[in-house]
Amino acid sequence: MADNAQLERLTALLAQQSEQAAQREERLAEQAAQREERLATMLERALANQEFGTWRQKFDDFRLLTHLETLPIAEQKAALMSLLDDEWTRTLRYSLQIPSEADLKTVIDTMEAHLRGQRSIILDRRDFYSRVQEPDETFDDFVSSIKEIAAYCDFCDKCADDQYRDRIVVGIP
């Protein structure tokens, strides 16, 4: 009789543990799905250089968090390709001459160089020199915007601070 009672208690405990484990697995799967949705950002072909730079930073963070660099190069490239729109996929396949053995950094560097070649530095400098602070824009947001635009203007390292200063002085209403 005592053995039956113990067996029933053990069976009940085992069922309870099994149910808790299933609930935990379900929670972990939901959290992983949410995390992946937030981490990976699609890259659309119609981006400007600044937007590509932002996407690249997010992708680098995604690579770090998912340990993408531990996978074989083919799988790393597959992860990248899954985040590209159709135009970028066609550009990579048919326009850019990237060796099949190239690593992920080389592929992304080539994409960035291709995008850079689509827009003149002169246009980026025009954007920089014409940037003024908007009426409802904070000073910090204005300075951040100037620095972001300047990153694509190819200013020399020695004169960048002078360029920032001049743009801030002239750009504040």
Q: With CA atoms as reference, report the closest residue to 44 among 92, 83, 75.
A: 83
- Which tops the pLDDT comparison, 38 or 87? 87
Query: Range of 91's domain?
Result: 40-117
- Please count the structural domains in the chain: 3
One domain for residues 88 and 45: yes
Same domain, 55 and 83: yes
User: Does one domain contain both 20 and 51?
Assistant: no
The mean-pLDDT minimum among 31-35, 55-59, 76-80, 146-150 falls in: 31-35
- Letter string b/e over residues 127-148, b meaning 16 or more CB atoms within 10 A of that residue's CB: bbeebebeeeeeeeebeebbee
* Distance from C-alpha of 125 to C-alpha of 95, rounded to nearest angstrom: 27
- 99 and 159 fall within a common domain: no
Alpha carbons 120 and 139: distance in angstroms, whole number: 28
| pLDDT greater at residue 15 or residue 62 | 62
Together in a domain, 133 and 72? no
Task: Provide the pLDDT for residue 18.
Answer: 83
d(CA 139, CA 92): 40
Adjacent-strand bridge partners of 57: none
Considering only residues 22 and 48, tell me which one the structure prediction assigns the higher pLDDT. 22
Residues 62 and 100 in one domain: yes
| Percent of the chain whose pLDDT exceeds 90 | 33
Nearest to 67, CA basis, from 39, 31, 95: 39
Q: 44 with 113, same domain?
A: yes
Give the pTM: 0.63
> What are the structure tokens assigned to 19, written together?
């149910």
Percent pLDDT > 70 in the chain is 92
What pLDDT, on a 0 to 100 scale, did the predictor assign at position 132? 92
Digit-coded pLDDT (tens) for 82-126 = 999 899 899 989 999 898 889 999 999 999 889 888 888 899 899
| Shared domain check, 54 and 70 | yes
**pLDDT-based confidence at residue 75 (cuts at 50, 70, 90):** very high
Cα three-residue angle 56-115-161, rounded to 5 degrees? 70
For residue 34, what pLDDT band results from cuts at 50, 70 and 90? low
